[in-house]
Chain A
């Protein structure tokens, strides 16, 4: 334990954590720039670093971005990240009442509490869950991959069927390259670089960054709300009496965030709304929510920060990312040769525990930077968006190239950027595509292994005899039922899209 803590507090790792938090706050605060984009861009830069340092920086960026989104949510009624969507509901009214400082102070502190509680649970439950992964054989991994696909697709914000199409499109892309059974290159079209398959990192960078850059470019010069200067915001810590009063809110919302974070594909936006709703239900004055209730801000922010740690639990233990950002980080893990499962907590225990404990440091740094350094972020939020956009273009290009020193990866990044933009503009989510690319190899190896083990038997019967498979099958059934339940609550056909504007 002392060794791990001393690893966390090396100068390099502190610098990585601080840099990650600052970048995360910036990416989170700028509407259009997301945590996923930030980590996708940053990831190639971490390849030359020690694996622990790279993971620390990415985890810190995630934590910082989850709070950063609250800044624009409170000041300009636009969540900087999806996780801050519920923060808008009471945060912006507070800003309009001249209570912006109070709202931002509450958002930082509740983000800090949510983040810290989340890491504590991650620390307690990840190792036992990693041991459960030892019970997983090929049939279980196949079912787990299917579960990951179904839940992320069924929670797709747009049409559910499009979520499934995106997810299976990702699985199709994952079949490009060397076949795991006979080692025969598939779907390479004679291109030698494709024998290794489509590299995850350039595809991720393209899918997440290029569509956003194109949207940012489009709004250049239009009347887009600029974040008011943070120079005049005075923050500081909330008084102790306030913290005592808000403790039930922090605990309830953090717990909700953790549970939601555990579910693959159920990200921070769902967590923040669920926590907000529960807070309103538990309140003695629910009718005041939406008019500037500090409890609304606290609930949303505590939940969206505890999602970070919650999403890491299935990512580290079972290889199923709980969130799109965790999906990208999983790519980073795999590039460093670290594969999720029990080995992460045994063979690579030092790296894993250093990363987990660094999340405590990241949350403390987020509290520090948010409380004392908010005015400095004005330098970035005041930068014209076209300059930020060209900077992101440079970083995505360089990042893709830095992976293997290959121009082919840059071409892949561009290709997937265009594909991502076309998908998004036609109402498809790109997160299921990413998850499909990540889970594809697991699903294929699982299916091949299952067919091999059950040779001569009824494969379905063989799967149904395994208890873990039965549990996963039940979870798949639940995840497939979720869209129907949601549509009944909203009195809508699951095949219809939510209202989409004419312009895309």
Chain B
């Protein structure tokens, strides 16, 4: 039986249209495939790469600051910090309860922080101990994330705060050595590039690229933790006892310029929270190098050393002291207003005569005097690696405002501004055979490539060995005077000079408020340390009474700590036993 021709025709047309539709849509699909896989291939490769690739920075561990004997005084520890993001937290109460238990925070505070984290990931707790972090990670809470951040710790507590400085939240130095040596301490961050799945987890068999971080260098300082603690303790006691406004103690090794201790008050605490109190900003700078002052009578050492070196005077050169000298119509008086009659240069130093000092400077001459001031390092930064070091200031004959009265007053340390570090460095040169050393705070740099020792740097010879020896002798005479007998240390000889400087204010000077200082070195011979003590605005005002006891205490502690044997003590004879000897 034959099919209906009309039906066959209809079937053929239907088949044709179906085939046409299939062909058209196949063509469209093929065209889109061509677009996506060939024309826009690169764009989708980039999109896919961004979607799958995870680029994570690896923080480099910041280097530690070690004391002269390798004890850590500042080091970085990686802590976990807990961050929260409210939109991703599915079970708020469960998350808050767990975080409360683990972190020990009040639940209300936790809930409030989570609610605040509605727009971005927000810090909930920093410095989370490792065991607590492990518990949070094991809980696997969504919307709660752990991030590792470095924190600076101080095992010795807050010592040498102004010298060490501190770091910011990003781990970069903001003051002190943390700032000036930031490039050595920071190291180099690494990066790890991995592939991640849809949950954000790393695909173990995926492609991976790693640039490992390079840890920062550890720095071995010249600061000794024990000497620093002693200096801070003695300074605090002296400021308290003398009702002073503050003070500075610097201990230096004359032969190397290494700074064994640098204490100052007032200061701030490295371990206090929060550290960055706006009201304490003036304490963050290392005032021993940034703040200038008029040094007073300690400058007479420089005046006499310069005159001896030039042969202008000798230790026995005579001067007739009437108690007052007139320079350009201005009276120069001694500190006690007395006249000492016929005195030698040695006695000028012992009695700290302003009249004698201006006479010596006059004999030396302005040109030579200021040349020696510059040679001893005044008027220029010393090069110690601390931020904001001041150069100090004094008028020179070439300055329009200079007058001979400046020479007179400069000779005994007035009308000239210096920094404490300049003072102790200059005096230490006299104990170092006349060689000025650059102050040094860093002894070694222990980096990933090895250990680099910092060699002590001698700046220049400022006076001859003979002059230095003469100055030591003069300073020993000053230390040995009857007025300072109470401060002597049995069995040891020191060389020192006191200073009492008026404090300038509003075109004049404060009355009854001074910078009382005492500077010297010892033991003699072969000085191992130089010490500057400055007590600011004490009630007692005089360096010999206020600062000398502190100098003595520091020296005695150093003699014991450094195990410096006495070259003067002898075993007492059976008939003449001294108070300090003891039979075994």
User: Bound pair: A and B?
Assistant: no
